[in-house]
Structure formats: structure tokens, C-alpha cells
Structure 1
Amino acid sequence: MCGRFVVPSTTDELLSVFDATGDNAADWKPSYSVAPTDPAPVVREWIHDETVQRDLDLASWGLKPGWAKQGGPAPINARLESVASNGMFRSAFASQRCLVPMAGYYEWQQMDDGKQPYFLHSDSDLLAAAGLYAARQEGDVWKITFTIITRAARDTSGEIHDRMPVFLTLDVWEQWLRPEKITDKEEVLSMLDRSSIAIAKTMTAYPVARTVNNVRTLDSEDQRLIEPIRINSQYRVGSSIKVTAEKNLSTS
């Protein structure tokens, strides 16, 4: 799954990378701990006056379709295996798709003395996860919410958790964002599978300080949250993760 992620980019940086407009994201501040219900930037395309517009919007993490009851579930993740057929997601999958920018995400390993967080990231400075969004009118304001599609882990997170976000390669960003309704679900699902496997091959993980564990006390703007730490040998959870952690520490 993906329960916390990192977006260190500024609004201007995101606008440049995704070639988007972003008046609605002007208040964004880089965050090293985006948690459920938090606002985060998403990239989406929609049709305005018969013209396709690509926007960078601030959206709340947890999908809330317009038809959903107030106080009902707002899932932060959607499973790739069922996203095209599940009643909560199939409408958004068909025509309300988005990209969720991030530098990486956190997963946790249960140790003898508590949960040890790991930061999972790529050799790229910025990743784009496949997401779905919904626009919901509340009074005179339109609120945008989103969820992140996940799949069975194919990266180093497999040693920590059995799910990972579906990350997309640059060449399929435009295809995923197109606002027209999907006609061939299997083709799109196959594209998501292939693209996410390609990105998974570039992913690595290293342990970070347990400050990350408490969202109520951490400073989400503190970049030290993703700094690698050395953990005692009895807490190592796998040779590949151990090697990655030591490599990052030796070069810092």
C-alpha cells in the first residue's frame, strides 16, 4: 500500500515538469510527510470550453466521489487488480485519472522494539504515481479528492510490504491523463502493469529515523525525515535493504 509519501518539489518545479497551469496549487509547500486527508498536488486533464486543460491542483488524499455519502469511506488506495470494476473506482478509472507527483514513499517493518520506517525511492528525482480523482461541490466550492493505485510489490518494498504504488514512465503520462472515456480497459491495465514494473526495477530503500512514525509531532517540511540512518544488525530486515542503507550512508 501507500500510506505516506514525500513531495519535496515546489509549485513552480511541478508546473515545469508536467507542463501544467496551477493557480489552484499556489499555496502548496513541499512536504516530506503527506498523510491521508492531507492536501497534495495532483496533475489532471479536463475539458473546459471544448479545450483540454492540464492543471496542477491541490487535492485531499482520500477519494470522495460526488455520489458518496458524507462521512462515508474515502479510500487512499485503489487496487490495480480491481480498479476497473470496483464500484468505488470504476467511474473515475474510466474518465477521471490523474498523476500524483512524489519523490518516494514510506513503508514500515515491525521490529522487536517497534516499527522501523523505510524510505523507498527511485534514481529519478520525481516519480508520478497513477491516481484517480473526483470533484465534489461543497457549497460554492469544488473540492478535489484523489486516491493512488497500488499493485503487488515488484521493488525493494517487497521485503517490507506486499504492495507498492503504480508508478508510470514518462512516455505514458499523456495517455493516462487523457480525459476521454476509456474504451479498452484491458489495454490500459496492461499499460499500467508494464510501466510500473519498469519503474520498480529502479527502486531502492533505506531506513530513516522513527520521527516519521508520529504524524502529530513531526515537521512535514523537515527534509531530515528522509535522511538515511544506520540501524543495528539485529534490526536489519534483508540483505538488499542493508546494502542500500550502507551505500547511502557511506556517500552522505
Structure 2
Amino acid sequence: MNTVIDTILSHRSVRKFEDKKLSQEQIETIVRSAQAASTSSYIQAYSIIGVTDQTKKEQLAEVAANQEYVAKNGHLFVFCADLHRHEVIGEMENADVLSSIESTEKFMVATIDASLAAQNASIAAESMGLGICYIGGLRNDLVKVSEILGTPDRVIPLFGLVVGHPAKINDLKPRLPLEHVYHENQYNTDEVSYKEQLESYNQTVQEYYQDRTKGTRTDTWTGQLAKMLGNKARMYMKDFVNGKGMNRR
């Protein structure tokens, strides 16, 4: 065990921050750490938008189901899948890149690149004693988010990342059992053991919520997920992404 692993294993989402902005040095360190992440074929198919304008923060918070911490934090980063610069590269080099940048493969590369960068940023922030929370709620209305942030075609805002000085730190939330996530040599298709692992995890999650809420909440993980997945959400996404000139082929 070392301090890096300690930081990773101590992760928990922070949703309440002190009224204190990140310094420019902290912001740049987090962005440089993000840029140090692995990138497929050196393509670097992402961009990060830092949002400091309070009006914009409040507009984005409204999109994200009025989550207060989207507006009140030390800094808000928005991670974008970005193939716009690669379209510009095609123009600069007089190369036909359209079929490639409109492909599902390059869309996956861009979303993976952005995700890897964001996780590097998160670990860097947490290693500095800061707290973080990912904001998937921006995808509730990417048309509006794109307008607020002025993103061109070939750029998709994927999620936000709020960072700041924690005012409240929650308990660690239990993850799935290692043996359920890690498969050796081939995927475990034995449904009996598979479901047993999920039932065991349900009990762990239920105990977590009972302790955290003094018995007022008794959710199971599979119950939560069944309810969530049973509700159709953000079903506009395919049309939006295609309209932005990505994932077309």
C-alpha cells in the first residue's frame, strides 16, 4: 500500500463545499494531471471547460436537476469528447478525415479519452485534500449545455466535475464484490453464483443505508437499479450525438 492507492481507495463523492475557490495553481495542476492520462493513438480527443462565471454555473445546476453543488463549489470542470480539432487538422493537412471522425470507433475513443483524463484529474484533486463529484446530470439537456458553453459540432459535453474544499465528507459507499467484477480468463456465466454475489452485495448495501439513515432507508442495490433502468431517461441522446456529427458510421 502507498499514498496513491490510499487516495484512490478513500474516494467518496463530496456534495457540500466550503465557500473557497481553487487557486490558479490548483486548477492548472488538475488539468495537467488530466492531460497526463493515457490517450488512444495520441489522438487526445477531449477538451475541458472550466466554468467560473456564476450565472453559467447556476444555469448548469438547473439543467442538472437543481443540484446545489453544481453552482456552489471551488471549481467546475466540464469534460467534453472533442473531435472538432481533428476536423480542423483535416483542413490544415488537406486530408479526408470525415469518415473517421464520424465513426462509432472514434466516438468511443473520444469518450474513453475524456473519461481517463477526468479520473486522473479526480485523483490529483483528492491527493491535494480536495473533494470531487461527477455531474452526469448535465446530460439531462445537452442542447442547453452546448448553448451555455458554446461548444461547436464534433464536441459533446459528457459530464461535469465539481472540485472544492469539503465542508462535509460522507462515509465510503460499498462497491460490488471483487469476485463479481473481476473475471479470470473468461466471463462468469454461472447464473447461480452470479446471483448469489448480487444477493450478498444487496445485504451489504442495505446495511450501509440502514446505518447511514438510522433505519429510515433500506434500499438494495438491485432494487435501485431495476427502478432506475425501468425509467426511460435521456432517450434523445443518439439523435443529439448524430446531430453533432459524431457516431454516425
Q: Which has the higher helix share?
A: 2
Q: Which has the higher strand share?
A: 1
Compute the TM-score of the two structures, normalised by the length of structure 2: 0.26
Higher relative contact order (CA closer than 8 Å, sequence separation 6+): 2
